[in-house]
Amino acid sequence: MPAQSGSGISRSDVLRLAAIALRESGLRIDESKADFLLARLGSRIAELGLSSFSDYAAHLESAGGGGEMSRFIESITTHTTEFFRERAQYDWLAAQGIPSLWSAGVGRSRDLVVWSAACSTGQELYSAAMILEDLALRAMRGLRWRGIGTDISRAVLEPAALAVYRIDEIGAIPSGFRVQSLLHGRRDPRLVRFRPEIRRRTEWRRANLCVAGDLEGIRCDVIFLRNVLIYSDAEMRRRILRNVVACLQPAGYLLTGHSEPIEAASYGLVSLRPSVYRKAGG
Ligand SMILES: C[S@@+](CC[C@H](N)C(=O)[O-])C[C@H]1O[C@@H](n2cnc3c(N)ncnc32)[C@H](O)[C@@H]1O
55 & 122 share domain? no
70 CB burial (10 A radius; 0-12, 13-18, 19+): middle
Taking every pair of Cα atoms in the chain, the longest distance, rounded to a whole number of angstroms, is: 64
CA 226 to CA 223: how far, in whole Å? 9
| Domain CATH code at residue 58 | 1.10.155.10
User: Ligand 1 pocket: which of 228, 238, 254 to mutate (most atoms <8 Å of CB)?
Assistant: 228
Residue 231 has pLDDT above 50, yes or no: yes
Of all protein residues, the one whose alpha carbon is nearest to atom 3 of ligand 1 is 227
- 251, part of any domain: yes
Confidence (pLDDT) at 180:
96
- The domain boundary, picked from 76, 109, 129, lies at 76
The total number of structural domains that make up the chain: 2
71 & 95 share domain? no
Mean pLDDT taken over the chain: 94
- The domain boundary, picked from 25, 46, 76, lies at 76
Task: Give, in degrees to the nearest 5, the angle at Cα 32 between 31 and 38.
Answer: 100
- The domain boundary, picked from 49, 76, 103, lies at 76
71 & 177 share domain? no
Ligand 1 centroid from CA 114, angstroms: 16
Does ligand 1 come within 6 angstroms of the Cβ of 22?
no
CA 33 to CA 78: how far, in whole Å? 14
- 3, part of any domain: no
Domain that holds residue 15: 11-76
Residue 137 has pLDDT above 70, yes or no: yes
70 & 95 share domain? no
- 107, part of any domain: yes
Confidence (pLDDT) at 207:
98
Does ligand 1 come within 6 angstroms of the Cβ of 210?
yes
- 4, part of any domain: no
| Domain CATH code at residue 257 | 3.40.50.150
C-alpha closest to that of 10 among 67, 54, 72: 54
Does ligand 1 come within 6 angstroms of the Cβ of 121?
no
Confidence (pLDDT) at 71:
93
- 120, part of any domain: yes
Does ligand 1 come within 6 angstroms of the Cβ of 89?
no
Phi-psi region of 120 (alpha: psi -120 to 50; beta: other; left: phi over 0): left
- Which pTM was predicted? 0.95
Distances, alpha carbon 66 to alpha carbons 21, 71, 74, 159, 236, in Å: 13, 10, 13, 25, 22
Confidence (pLDDT) at 77:
94
Distances, alpha carbon 87 to alpha carbons 93, 167, 174, 222, 260, in Å: 10, 19, 11, 16, 16
pLDDT digits (tens, 9 = 90+) for 97-113: 999 999 999 999 999 99
210 & 100 share domain? yes
- 82, part of any domain: no
